[in-house]
Every structure is written in C-alpha cells, then in structure tokens.
Amino acid sequence: MIFFFIVSKITGENEHPGREMAGCLAFTIGGIVLGGILMSLTVVFLFPILLGQQSITPISEVLNSLWPIIKAGLIATGIVTIITIMPLVGSLIAYSPGAQTFLMGFIIFTLFTRDMFNIMLSESNIQSSIYPTIWEFIGFIIIATALTWLLIGILSVISLPFSNTELGYIITMIGGQVLGVLAGIITLCMYTNFIMLSFLDNISY
C-alpha cells in the first residue's frame, strides 16, 4: 500500500493516460519485485526454524547479507514470473498465491542452502538424494494451492456479514493475499522438514 501511494504521487492522479499507464506498470513491476525481496528476507529470517531450530536469524546477520538476499529475491521473482506465463501449468500457479509463495521460497531456500547440503552430504558420505522426487515436489505445489483456497474459502465465509461493503472488499483482497503467503510458507516448512528428515534418515543408516 505504501509503495502504491508513492507511485501514485510520482505519476500523479488524473494525469495524461500515458503517465497513468507508466504508473500502473511501475506499480505492477515494482510490487512484484518488492514482494520477491520481502519473501527472500522472510526465508532468511526463518532459516533456523526451517532447519529445525527454534530461533530466527539475527538481524545483524541479515543486514550483513542484504545484497545476496536481494539478489536471491530477484532471481526467484524472475523464475516464478516465467513459470506463471507458461501454458497450462503457469495459469494454475498464477491464480494461487500460496503456490507462488512456495515456489519463491523453495528457490530462495535452495540458493542459500545448496552448497551447505552438498558439503553435509559429502562429509556424511551420503550418496542418495535427500530431495523429493518430481512427483513429490508437484505434491507440495498441490498442497500449497489446496491450502490457499481452503483458507480463502474460510475467509470468505467469515467475511459474509460484510459482503457488499468496502470493509468486506478489503478483508477479502488483503486477507486473501496474506493467507496465500501464509499457505506458501507453511508448505515451505513442510518441504524443508521433508529434506531434514530425509537427511537424518540417511545418516542413521
């Protein structure tokens, strides 16, 4: 919302159509990019929790890694954007904020942990893969999508008393996006838990 306010002030209201179009484009692209960066920050903050610990990443460490975090967010945004414009699969993901959030989180998590896991696997002499198969990964996407629509459905029922009102519109729009992100993060936690359990299972053999 703050980003939209800034863009609207820069481009002006009731201005030339070309300027309005530029503002709309800036809002769309800027919003997507900002969302990717915020998702990257969220994943980095939650790293210890995603890896099975009970704390978050200290702010000082996050600030020291700010550029890699931004870069990971931009990469994830670009990849997910490309996926969403692909035929069939893209349209399904495009309409599921949870699936988009999960995919972005997965990409960011992989970018930051790939080398770490490779070293851990090498030191533990583990030859088998700890990552889910393609069908299992698709299952995570389905879970994220189903969880998204379940939460949005519950929100729609809750907001029924406010239907046809501005408050109802705000609850549905903002709440839907928030719940979509929440569904994606929950699914990401399930994914990382799968990896950690797989790693521990391989160590035990």
Do 181 and 151 contact (CB within 8 A), yes or no?
no
What is the C-alpha to C-alpha distance for residues 36 and 47, in angstroms, rounded to an integer?
16
Rounded to two decimals, what is the model's pTM?
Answer: 0.80
DSSP H helix total and E strand total for the chain: 9, 0
Mean per-residue pLDDT, 161-177:
77
pLDDT at position 96, please? 85
**Type of residue found at 101:** T
What is the C-alpha to C-alpha distance for residues 20 and 14, in angstroms, rounded to an integer?
8
Position 143 pLDDT exceeds 50: yes
Which one-letter DSSP state was computed for residue 111? H
pLDDT at position 144, please? 93
pLDDT at position 182, please? 92
Q: What is the DSSP string of 128-197?
A: S--SPPHHHHHHHHHHHHHHHHHHHHHHHHHTGGGTTSHHHHHHHHHHHHHHHHHHHHHHHHHHHHHHHH
Mean per-residue pLDDT, 49-57:
86
What is the C-alpha to C-alpha distance for residues 76 and 37, in angstroms, rounded to an integer?
9
Q: For residue range 33-46, what is the model confidence (pLDDT) as tens digits?
A: 888 899 999 999 99
pLDDT at position 30, please? 66
What value does the mean pLDDT of the chain take?
A: 81
- Other C-beta atoms lying within 10 Å of the C-beta of residue 200: 11
Domain residue ranges of the chain, discontinuous segments joined by + = 1-204
What is the C-alpha to C-alpha distance for residues 124 and 203, in angstroms, rounded to an integer?
7
- Cα 116 off chain centre by: 21
Hunting for tokens 């069908």 — which residue is that? Answer: 135
Do 104 and 39 contact (CB within 8 A), yes or no?
yes
Range in 11-15, 117-121, 172-176 with the lowest mean pLDDT:
11-15
What is the C-alpha to C-alpha distance for residues 92 and 74, in angstroms, rounded to an integer?
22
Do 159 and 168 contact (CB within 8 A), yes or no?
yes
Range in 3-12, 91-100, 182-191, 193-202 with the lowest mean pLDDT:
3-12
